Chain A
Amino acid sequence: GAVVSQHPSWVICKSGTSVKIECRSLDFQATTMFWYRQFPKQSLMLMATSNEGSKATYEQGVEKDKFLINHASLTLSTLTVTSAHPEDSSFYICSAPGRSSYNSPLHFGNGTRLTVT
């Protein structure tokens, strides 16, 4: 079964509104989670690293004030896309390592397809 649960699986919103995406680790605690974005026919691009109890670490070029990340518990990280615009339409995927170790494989949520109209 899925070890990482992501919700919602798809969302359509109007330009200028905000959207929250939840990522939960099932059956394990995740002090670190990763948020990726994937545009059509492109690879996954890391947006930020979500750290439980501390600020997220954003990749270069990702606006931290636009993509708000909260990791308030060991099993939940949220990504809020604020003031969404059509260019934010993408496939957002969260992931977590099965165990907090250097080389641990990542398990991915089912992704959230965001469409901004």
Chain B
Amino acid sequence: QKEVEQNSGPLSVPEGAIASLNCTYSDRGSQSFFWYRQYSGKSPELIMFIYSNGDKEDGRFTAQLNKASQYVSLLIRDSQPSDSATYLCAFGGGELFNTGTASKLTFGTGTRLQVTL
């Protein structure tokens, strides 16, 4: 049973469009949710994190969290070719992990985004 599910893609969107990436998770006790971007051959870099239900916006990126439905999404507005990468969602906290200490993260397999000219 997968703990984090992401569509592997590729998700292809034209330049300037909105890219929508989705992720579902199984651990209802999860407390923290993260989106990382990973270019081929590189390590992940943090895009956004969200802890509370609702939307969180940062520039062209908006993270959406719905704990009741156990999904988190990432919207990328005005997509650019440089946004082409694999996007990994991850969650931490919850009953599987220790509290009060730095939490391990569980990663999804990632969605490959291609922004076309």
**Which residues of chain A have a CB within 8 Å of any CB of chain B?**
6, 31-32, 34, 42-46, 49, 91, 93, 96-97, 100-111, 113
Contacts and interface: CB of A to CB of B under 8 A. Distances in A.
Interface string B88-113: 10001100000111111111111000
Contacts of A97: 102-103
A23 to B, nearest CB: 11
Contact of B101 (A32, A44, A107): A32
Contacts, number: 63
Nearest to B44: A108
Interface centre among B45, B104, B106 (most CB of A within 10 A): B104
Contacts of B109: 42-43
21 contacts: A31-B102, A43-B88, A43-B108, A43-B109, A45-B107, A46-B104, A46-B106, A93-B44, A97-B103, A102-B93, A102-B99, A102-B100, A102-B103, A103-B31, A103-B32, A103-B92, A104-B102, A106-B34, A108-B43, A110-B42, A113-B41
